Amino acid sequence: MDALDKQNALRLVTLFSGTVKGMAFYPASHPAIRQPLMDFYQILSTALSQSKQVSWGLADGIMFVDDHLFVSPSTAIADLTNRMMEKSVGRIIMQSGLTFEELQEFVRLFSVKGVDVDALSVQMEVNGVSRVQLVSDAEESLETDDDDLDSVAEGDHVGTYNRAIAAIRTVCRDIERGRIPNSAPVIRVVDRMVGITMQEPWALLGLTMIKDYDNYTFNHCVNVGVLAMSLGATLGLDAMTVKDLGIAGQLHDIGKTMIPKSILNKPGKLSSSEFDEMKRHSELGSKIIREMEGLDPHIAQIVLGHHLHFNRSGYPEWASKLPFNQLIDIVAIADTYDAITTLRVYQHPVNPRTALNEMQKLVGTILDGSILGRFIEMMGNYPVGTLVRLDTNEVAVVYRPNPLDEEAPVVRVLIDGDGLRLRVPREQSLVEHDGSRYANIVAVVDPLLKNIDVGRLIAGGNY
């Protein structure tokens, strides 16, 4: 049994993050610092009574606490993640026998900005903090290398998805640090996804409803890769081409890592000069990919052209006359679909079914109509992740399409006919093998109105 369950693990790092941040405003003796630190120490002490140590750190930029992984971090975890990355700290290990005074001193030292892991370790030794150990991110990366994907069980699609998120996060982190990214983790995870997708093109589609709003770029890149692979497989493309689509989709926006955050996160409309700067991301991403080992140059070409539009009126304008194949139009459709089904600071998301209707308005200009037609067929009348109301008054989420009857997908019932939430969602075919019908879909439901996080549900969490 783990010394910490996931709830207490989350509570632990949230309290730690809060006290570290609070040190910038209050002395260590202030109640705003001391009380959460005492709560932290109580949780930690209980865990250390069952285990010799408790550790948390970053696996490819994603926070873990012992065996718990937080792929959709809270603001507190995101703050702590950024602080650890700034200090090049890969893992923090707290050992049994740690006193409250040691903990308080470590938090004070850790809160000081501009001090890296080596300098921090020296200060900890000087100040008597002996039961906290720091592992640098360089050392940690050697321990949590590509073998992590091998530990993901076959059939664990969420685990594979999480490894894809981690790989893209590492690529972006390397770019921010001025390094040429390692392509191997991306290639390995796409290889596994291709194997899944070629057998069942729809198998990973539900995962694209996982929306991590705090880490939009990483999440969006993986979703575009999944959607592009699924569409490629549906179009009958071979496995190597589907793999290229997956890699290009996952890397299509890495050029944004080099765009100022003030532009990327601006809530209002971009100025003309800001938009010109934003448009550079296709070229920047293409240039980075050409420098990465192990990637075919035509993957860089797909990234370069993913905003050129079907009528080639997009950007970069200078590339409009270059010879491009349909792969850029496949990625463009995947990119558009995920973007308009995602909440952004400047945009309310639309449900999957409405998104397909909106995309049809872009045919002939931005999107290729023939490829979009196949995409719509693949997604079905009620795409995976759509929340629906049945004529039994139950509310369910579409879980799997039914190729034989688009009006009768497989669903997971979340709310019963009396309006009560089920503790465990119930999988239900709307049409049985003998032709008998369980129920009909009568309406599409807005998940926000029901306070249901479809992505979290599909990922196996609470809804």
Cα 26 to Cα 125: distance, rounded to the nearest angstrom: 24
Q: How far is CA 445 from CA 211, 349, 385, 413, 415, in A?
A: 18, 13, 11, 13, 12
The vertex-20 CA angle with 52 and 212, nearest 5°, equals 90
Say if residues 141 and 57 touch (Cβ distance below 8 Å): no
CA distances from 262 to 170, 259, 424 (A): 22, 9, 42
Q: How many helices (H) and strands (E) does the chain have?
A: 19, 10
Q: What is the pLDDT of residue 342?
A: 81
- Alpha-carbon span 395 to 443, nearest angstrom: 10
- 340 Cβ neighbours under 8 A, 6+ residues apart: 347, 349, 350, 355, 358, 359
Token reading at 458: 């599909």
Give the per-residue pLDDT at 99: 94
- Tokens matching residue 111: 């809160």
For the domain with range 149-379, which CATH number is right: 3.40.50.720, 1.10.3210.10, 3.30.300.30, 1.20.272.10? 1.10.3210.10
Tokens standing for residue 204: 């990973």
pLDDT for 113 equals: 86
Which pLDDT does position 463 carry in this prediction? 55
Strands of the sheet with 68-70, listed across from one edge: 68-70, 62-65, 53-59, 89-95, 132-136
Q: Is 451 left (phi over 0), alpha (psi -120 to 50) or beta?
A: left
Residues 6+ apart with CB under 8 A from 190: 164, 225, 229, 243, 246, 247, 250
Asked if 6 and 71 count as a contact pair (C-beta separation under 8 A), the reply is no
Quick one: how far is CA 78 from the chain centroid? 13
> 382 is written with which tokens?
């009620």
- DSSP-derived letter for residue 256 is G
In 114-156, where does DSSP find H-type helix? 117-126, 137-143, 147-150
CA 133 – CA 279 distance, rounded (Å): 44
Secondary structure, 3-state, 366-384: CECHHHHHHHHHHHCCCCC
Q: Tell me, what amino acid is at 260?
A: P
**Where in the chain do CATH 1.10.3210.10 domains reside?**
149-379
CA distance 214 to 400: 28
Diameter of the chain measured on Cα atoms: 75
Q: Which regions of 27-78 does DSSP assign to beta strands (E)? A: 53-59, 62-65, 68-70
Q: What pLDDT is stored for residue 62 in this prediction?
A: 77
CB atoms near residue 350 (< 10 Å): 15
Closest CA to 57 of 25, 29, 94, 19: 94
- Cα–Cα distance between 106 and 123 in angstroms, integer? 9
Q: Please, are residues 228 and 331 in contact by the beta-carbon 8 Å criterion?
A: yes
What whole-number distance in Å separates Cα of residue 367 and Cα of residue 445? 27
The answer to whether the CB of 405 falls within 8 A of the CB of 431 is yes
How far apart are alpha carbons 2 and 46 in whole angstroms?
A: 12
**Tens-level pLDDT at each residue, the chain (463 residues):** 456 788 888 899 999 999 998 887 888 788 888 899 999 999 999 999 888 888 898 876 678 887 677 766 688 888 898 889 888 898 899 998 999 999 999 999 999 988 888 899 999 999 999 999 998 876 655 444 444 565 566 667 888 888 898 889 888 878 887 888 889 889 999 999 999 999 888 888 888 887 765 567 788 999 999 999 999 999 999 999 999 999 999 999 999 999 998 888 787 889 999 999 999 999 999 999 999 989 999 999 999 999 999 999 999 999 999 989 999 999 999 999 999 988 665 566 788 888 999 999 999 999 999 999 999 999 988 988 889 999 999 999 998 888 788 889 989 999 999 999 998 889 999 998 788 899 999 999 888 777 787 776 766 555 5
